[in-house]
């Protein structure tokens, strides 16, 4: 057993639930909700790394799907329940970190305990109103959204917590959004997250969880764009990979993506390599992902038009200019938005292929980025098996 096991002690530093009850609804919303289009840099500690990145991109007026963050103040409210704190502390204090089976069992029990606890009413009210406002903004009742974990420690310099918490996709309706927000909270206690915090020496109470709620994208096509040519580091070019539908067919190796090079100065496509694409992954009306055969007339057709390539390249260049370094951009073309407004940015991060002196072409080195798109757009719980 670990003698210095991290013990939760949040409650000493948090306001009581009663202190919120006399507050105006607008004040509560300010405590618990940060809209991406109103994000300010000093709010990063409240919304975690992932939400801060989305807010930063929207702040730079990039076409990011709309949404909002449920702040760590909302997460802190659950720890006013002393019985919850005691139960979680008891499980953590008895944990032998060298016992993998026990680690998994403790994780499952902590997560179940958190998820069975009622969400505090002020948080329910704020989250419900925000989701309804998002539905109204998008003019769609029960809008499908991604419910994303955004931990406050995702971008620490000496540790990488990214990918250790959960994201839930294609969630529709107020009650499901509330339940999946609690699942995001509980994912701070996945077995891998508990083990990593122990390994890195981080106490559990040093890390808090924000939750992002963002409109889902139903892509005609999707892909990645690098603001340099990753085969030779040429910064005068934008390299774009694209495929029909979701990116999963590329990640699985079932489809070779179309590959393009766009000249940043001349704004011309000077290399195009269009592959034959036999299958794609699409969304059904029930929000289920299924693999389907591509119609014969589209199999050898480019999955993006020249106008869309120019829009993708321009979007990638805007990200590069904003962040001040070459970028690896995830993009998608939303079938529900009008032409000319349907190229969306899903994520932008610093390019690492050339900086690590890997000289393979994009098609060989772009799989990880395409896999990230799949994790953004596809939930295993909503995938339909082949028949």
Q: What is the tens place of the pLDDT at every residue in 141-158?
A: 999 998 988 888 544 433
Weakest mean pLDDT among 86-90, 171-175, 235-239: 86-90
CA angle, residues 348, 141, 120, in degrees to nearest 5: 80
Please state the rounded mean pLDDT for residues 318-331. Answer: 92
Shared domain for 147 and 276, answered yes or no, is no
Cα–Cα dist 94/3, whole Å: 9
Cα–Cα dist 275/28, whole Å: 52
Weakest mean pLDDT among 33-47, 125-139, 291-305, 350-364: 350-364
* Residue 342 counted as domain residue: yes
pLDDT at 376: 64
Please state the rounded mean pLDDT for residues 368-376. Answer: 61
Shared domain for 60 and 195, answered yes or no, is yes
Q: Which of 293-297, 337-341, 353-357 has maximum average pLDDT?
A: 293-297
pLDDT above 70 (res 20):
no
* Residue 54 counted as domain residue: yes
pLDDT at 356: 59
pLDDT at 98: 86
* Residue 76 counted as domain residue: yes
8 A C-beta contact, residue 216 and residue 147: no
Cα–Cα dist 241/259, whole Å: 5
The closest alpha carbon to 353, from 328, 324, 322, belongs to 328
The closest alpha carbon to 152, from 142, 141, 165, belongs to 165
CATH code where residue 194 lies: 3.30.1490.20
Shared domain for 106 and 237, answered yes or no, is no
* Residue 5 counted as domain residue: no
Weakest mean pLDDT among 95-99, 115-119, 216-220, 351-355: 351-355
Weakest mean pLDDT among 229-243, 339-353, 369-383: 369-383
Task: Kindly report the average pLDDT of the chain as a whole number.
Answer: 82
pLDDT above 50 (res 355):
yes
Please state the rounded mean pLDDT for residues 286-300. Answer: 89
- Scan for tokens 């949404």, then name that residue: 67
8 A C-beta contact, residue 312 and residue 297: no
* Residue 387 counted as domain residue: no
- For 48-80, write each residue's pLDDT tens digit: 888 998 999 999 999 999 999 999 999 999 999
Phi, psi at 292, each rounded to 5°:
-135, 155
CATH code where residue 237 lies: 3.30.470.20
Cross-strand bridge partners of residue 60 = none
Cα–Cα dist 384/98, whole Å: 37
HEC secondary structure over the chain? CCCCCCCCCHHHHCCCCHHHHCCCHHHHHHHHEEEHHHCCHHHHHHHHHHHHHHHHHHHCCCCCCCEEEECHHHHHHHHHCHHHHHHHHHHHHCCCCCCHHHHHHHHHHHHHHHHHCCCCHHHHHHHHHHHHHHHHHCCCCCCCEEEEEEECCCCCCCCCCCCCCCEEEEECCHHHHHHHHHHHHHHHHCHHHHHHHHHHCCCHHHCCEEEEEEECCCEEEEEEEECCECCCCECCEEEEEEEECCCHHHHCCCCCCEEEEEECCCCEEEEEECCCCCEEEEECCCCCEEEEECCHHHHCCCCCCHHHHHHHHHHHHHHHHHHCCCEEEEEEEECCCCCCCCEEEEEEEECCCCCCCCCCCHHHHCHHHHHHHHHHHCCHHHECCCC
Percent of the chain predicted with pLDDT > 70: 78
Cross-strand bridge partners of residue 222 = 243, 332
Shared domain for 20 and 153, answered yes or no, is yes
Shared domain for 48 and 121, answered yes or no, is yes
Number of separate domains in the chain: 2
Q: Which of 215, 249, 276 is the last residue of a domain?
A: 215
Q: Which of 215, 230, 264 is the last residue of a domain?
A: 215
Shared domain for 133 and 277, answered yes or no, is no
The dihedral through the CA atoms of 119, 120, 121, 124 has a sign that is negative
Shared domain for 194 and 226, answered yes or no, is no
* Residue 2 counted as domain residue: no
Shared domain for 180 and 249, answered yes or no, is no
Please state the rounded mean pLDDT for residues 18-36. Answer: 59
Q: Which of 215, 245, 278 is the last residue of a domain?
A: 215
- For 200-241, write each residue's pLDDT tens digit: 655 555 678 999 999 988 899 999 999 999 888 899 999 999
pLDDT at 207: 76
pLDDT above 90 (res 30):
no
pLDDT at 17: 35
pLDDT at 361: 42
All residues at 6 or more sequence positions from 188 whose CB lies less than 8 Å from its CB, including other chains:
149, 151, 165, 204, 207, 208, 209
- For 128, the token pair is 């419900």
Cα–Cα dist 256/279, whole Å: 10
pLDDT at 247: 80
Shared domain for 22 and 144, answered yes or no, is yes
pLDDT at 202: 53
CA distance to 164, 336, 358, 364, 365, per residue, from 353 (Å):
23, 33, 6, 11, 7
All residues at 6 or more sequence positions from 69 whose CB lies less than 8 Å from its CB, including other chains:
33, 34, 35, 36, 39, 46, 47, 48, 51, 55, 150, 210, 211, 212, 213
* Residue 3 counted as domain residue: no
pLDDT at 81: 92
pLDDT above 90 (res 260):
yes
Please state the rounded mean pLDDT for residues 179-208. Answer: 81
* Residue 4 counted as domain residue: no
pLDDT at 370: 61
- Using pLDDT thresholds of 50, 70 and 90, give the confidence band for residue 272: very high
Shared domain for 164 and 49, answered yes or no, is yes
Percent of the chain predicted with pLDDT > 90: 56
The closest alpha carbon to 78, from 205, 154, 185, 188, belongs to 185
Cross-strand bridge partners of residue 35 = 68
pLDDT above 90 (res 83):
yes
Shared domain for 278 and 172, answered yes or no, is no
Domain of 71, in residue numbers: 10-215
Shared domain for 234 and 162, answered yes or no, is no
pLDDT at 5: 42
Please state the rounded mean pLDDT for residues 279-288. Answer: 81
């Amino acid at each position: 057993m670990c003698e210095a096991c991290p013990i939760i002690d949040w409650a000493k530093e948090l306001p009581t639930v009663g202190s919120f009850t006399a507050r105006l609804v607008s004040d509560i919303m300010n405590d618990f909700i940060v809209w991406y289009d109103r994000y300010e840099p000093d709010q990063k500690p409240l919304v975690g790394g992932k939400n801060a990145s989305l807010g930063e991109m929207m702040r730079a007026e990039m076409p990011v799907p709309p949404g909002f963050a449920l702040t760590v103040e909302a997460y802190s409210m659950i720890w006013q329940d002393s019985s919850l704190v005691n139960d979680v502390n008891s499980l953590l204090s008895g944990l032998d970190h060298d016992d993998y089976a026990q680690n998994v069992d403790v994780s499952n029990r902590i997560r179940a305990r958190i998820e069975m606890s009622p969400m505090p009413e002020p948080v329910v009210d704020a989250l419900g109103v925000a989701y309804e406002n998002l539905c109204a903004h998008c003019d769609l009742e029960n809008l499908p959204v991604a419910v994303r974990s955004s931990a406050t420690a995702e971008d620490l310099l000496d540790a990488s917590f990214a990918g250790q918490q959960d994201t839930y996709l294609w969630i529709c309706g107020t009650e499901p959004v509330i339940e999946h927000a609690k699942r995001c909270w509980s994912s701070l206690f996945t077995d891998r997250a508990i083990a990593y915090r122990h390994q890195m020496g981080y106490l559990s109470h040093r890390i808090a969880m924000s939750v992002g709620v963002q409109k889902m994208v139903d892509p005609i096509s999707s892909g990645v764009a690098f603001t340099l040519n990753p085969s030779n580091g040429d910064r005068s070019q934008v390299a774009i990979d694209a495929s029909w539908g979701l990116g999963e067919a590329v990640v699985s190796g079932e489809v070779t993506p179309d590959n393009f090079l766009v000249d940043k100065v001349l704004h011309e496509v000077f290399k195009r390599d269009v592959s034959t694409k036999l299958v794609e992954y699409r969304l059904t009306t029930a929000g289920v992902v299924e693999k389907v055969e591509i119609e014969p007339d589209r199999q050898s057709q480019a999955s993006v038009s020249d106008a869309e390539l120019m829009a993708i390249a321009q979007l990638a260049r805007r990200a590069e200019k904003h962040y001040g370094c070459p970028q690896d951009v995830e993009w998608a073309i939303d079938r529900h938005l009008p032409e000319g407004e349907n190229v969306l940015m899903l994520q932008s991060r610093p390019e690492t292929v050339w900086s690590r002196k890997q000289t393979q072409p994009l098609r060989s080195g772009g799989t990880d980025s395409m896999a990230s798109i799949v994790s953004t757009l596809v939930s295993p719980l909503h995938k339909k098996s082949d028949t």
